[in-house]
Amino acid sequence: MTEPAKDRAKTGTTARQLAYLAPILVFVVMSGYFLWGLDPGRNPRELPSVMIDKPAPEFTAGPLAGIAVPGLATADLRTGQVSLVNVFASWCIPCRAEHPLLMDLARREEVSIFGLNYKNKPEEARAWLEELGNPYTRIGTDENGRIGIDWGVTGVPETFVIDGSGHIRYRHWGPIDKDALERTILPLIEELRG
């Protein structure tokens, strides 16, 4: 056998060996996708927010009638302080689940918590806050859900972390739980403050 022929034979075998590896490769890639799809921690309904790292939308939400808490506007988010904007409603059951955590956070006074009362009758929102306590230092009302749309809200509750310059840094979809608060939200607040 001449030298070039030998080389050709060699590359031929390598190519064939690689061809045998191809199905395994395809299998591994597909298994990866299946694992991702089956992950119980993944909520397929949760969409990534496109508002991240963008300035909070311009809005002015009037105060909740009959309660001594001021309303909420974009300017309130640009005070140089990190803040949370929590979209809530009295008719929203998961809001009730996350409420004690917000109360707890409010008591610690580490971060200002603002509420956006989404499509709620004022008297019902008031009754809800009277029953469960008010963690918010400002509450804006969004009667027709238009402000919610500007924030890209798809459901209640949602919670946004806003940095001092009024940019949205994080959005938590669904009720906040202890895990999300301690592992994600609080460290992020700490980081934004630093």
Partner 1 sequence: MRPGLAAILIGLLAFAFASAPAGAVNPDEILDDPVLEERARDLSAGLRCLVCQNQSIDSSNAELARDLRLLVRERLVKGDSDDEIRAYVVARYGDFVLLRPPLKPETYFLWFGPVLILALGALGVAFYLRRRPAAAVGGPKPLDQGERARLARLLDDKDGSAPKS
What would the 3-class secondary structure string for 32-96 be? HHHHHHHCCCCCCCCCCCCCCCCECCCCEECCCCCCCCCCEEHHHHCCCCCEEEEEECCCCHHHH
Query: Which one of residues 9, 18, 30, 50 is an interface residue with partner 1 (CB under 8 A)?
Result: 50
User: Contact between 12 and partner 1 (CB under 8 A)?
Assistant: no
**Interactions with partner 1, residue window 29-48 (CB under 8 A):** 45, 47-48
Minimum distance of partner 1 from residue 109's CB (angstroms): 32
Residue indicated by tokens 């509420």: 115
**Interactions with partner 1, residue window 154-193 (CB under 8 A):** 154-155
User: Contact between 9 and partner 1 (CB under 8 A)?
Assistant: no
Minimum distance of partner 1 from residue 151's CB (angstroms): 8
User: Contact between 143 and partner 1 (CB under 8 A)?
Assistant: no
Minimum distance of partner 1 from residue 37's CB (angstroms): 15
Residue 27 in 3-state DSSP?
A: helix
Q: Which is nearer to partner 1, 75 or 149 (CB)?
A: 149
Residue indicated by tokens 């991702």: 36
Please, are residues 151 and 77 in contact by the beta-carbon 8 Å criterion? no
Spell out, one character per residue from 56 to 75, where the chain touches partner 1: x when CB under 8 A holds, - when not.
--------------------
User: Which residues touch 106 (CB under 8 Å, ≥6 apart)?
Assistant: 113, 135, 136, 137
Query: Which one of residues 69, 103, 110, 119 is an interface residue with partner 1 (CB under 8 A)?
Result: 119
User: Which residues touch 163 (CB under 8 Å, ≥6 apart)?
Assistant: 82, 169, 192
Q: 11-34: buried (b, 16+ CB within 10 Å) or exposed (e) per residue?
A: eeeeeeeeeeeeeeeeeeeeeeee
Minimum distance of partner 1 from residue 150's CB (angstroms): 6
User: Contact between 92 and partner 1 (CB under 8 A)?
Assistant: no
Minimum distance of partner 1 from residue 48's CB (angstroms): 7
Which residue ranges make up the site for partner 1 (CB under 8 A)? 45, 47-51, 119, 144-146, 149-152, 154-155
